[in-house]
Amino acid sequence: MTLKVDAGGEDRQVPSPPTDRVVAVMHLLGGDPERSFSLAEISRRLGISRATGHAILATLAAHRWVVRHESSASYSWGPAIGALARPTHDREFRSFLDGLSEAVGAQVFLARREGATLIVTDSVGHSLTAPRVTAGLRMPLVAPFGRDYVAWAGEQAIKEWLAGIGEPSVELRRRLIAVLAQVRERGYVVERLSREYVRVYLALRALAADGEPDEITSRLAGAFADLALVDYLPDELCSGDEHQIATISVPIRDSDGVVTMSVTAAPFRGLSTEEIRVIGAAVRDVARQIEECD
């Protein structure tokens, strides 16, 4: 609704049906930001024609207020909405990050989900061998990455996450499903450090700078998942071995229990099994503290 002053000087509320339809679309998508909706479902639930729905969604997608998922021809809540409400640079939780960085002796950063993209909102400390992560850095939320955001999101969200890399092999699908179950059990994601990981990580950073994940991004992530061993299952964390670890991440939930942020420590070095558990517990503690404040 907009306030209009007419020639007679009287204020009156003038309804705008086209604007109401846009607002209705955003309310529908925002009511379940983890889910994707087809054009047919959006049109049916809002009582609008497919042509009108398509025109609205195409415009919103152009401004990144919604995201169109090419693989499923569906739409979800977009990253630009979050950017309107919250600045990219966010130091609200800086004291927690400072303490964690000092405790684990590594770079630590906070990220927030905006649609199919993860945006770093604050970063402290240094890891001598790690690529520098700064506020404003964007990374695509595409399998096998972003496990901390989808592990607790439900079966449909996990299916869409897996579908983002096309048709994963039976072996890869089983691996990722098992890894997500393990992430839920231990409470944190462990990213293995390898030459391939660093190369793909840097490439995905560059691709994410151009916007939402596209086919190239998905294929790159899928190829990495096929060729690399993702995360750790219990029998792979042998106590006597040293494990090369890139990052350890923990999800941060909002008041509704939805994972909207994550906190990550980036040791980028060899760690014993016990060191991984200690750092994982420290990152988890900070995530819980942030949840209590947010």
The pLDDT of residue 57 is 92
Q: Based on the fold, state whether residues 51 and 174 are members of the same structural domain.
A: no
Q: Based on the fold, state whether residues 216 and 277 are members of the same structural domain.
A: yes
Q: Based on the fold, state whether residues 142 and 282 are members of the same structural domain.
A: yes
233 belongs to a structural domain: yes
Cis peptide bond prior to 144, omega within 30° of 0: yes
pLDDT tens figures, 23-52: 899 888 888 877 889 999 999 999 999 999
Q: Based on the fold, state whether residues 70 and 39 are members of the same structural domain.
A: yes
Q: Based on the fold, state whether residues 69 and 94 are members of the same structural domain.
A: no
19 belongs to a structural domain: yes
Q: How far apart are CA 143 and CA 84, in angstroms?
A: 27
Residue 256 has pLDDT above 70, yes or no: yes
Return the structure tokens found at 258. Answer: 């939805």
Q: Based on the fold, state whether residues 160 and 269 are members of the same structural domain.
A: yes
Domain ranges, residue 209: 87-293
The pLDDT of residue 289 is 95
Q: Which of 77, 104, 124 is the last residue of a domain?
A: 77
282 belongs to a structural domain: yes
Q: For the chain, what percent of residues have pLDDT higher than 90?
A: 45
82 belongs to a structural domain: no
Alpha helices in 67-164 (DSSP H): 79-85, 94-104, 147-150, 155-163
pLDDT level of residue 11 (50, 70, 90 thresholds)? very low
Q: Which of 77, 110, 143 is the last residue of a domain?
A: 77
43 belongs to a structural domain: yes
Return the structure tokens found at 140. Answer: 């695509």
Q: How far apart are CA 186 and CA 184, in angstroms?
A: 6
Count Cα atoms within 13 angstroms, Cβ side, for 131: 16
Give 235's DSSP letter.
G
pLDDT tens figures, 53-78: 999 998 988 877 888 887 788 998 87
CB atoms within 10 A of CB 292: 6
Residue 89 has pLDDT above 70, yes or no: no
The pLDDT of residue 179 is 96
The residue with greater pLDDT, 266 or 199, is 266
Claim: this prediction has a pTM higher than 0.85: no
The CATH number for 46's domain is 1.10.10.10
23 belongs to a structural domain: yes
pLDDT tens figures, 136-176: 888 888 889 999 999 998 888 899 898 888 888 899 999 99
Mean pLDDT score of the chain, rounded to an integer? 85
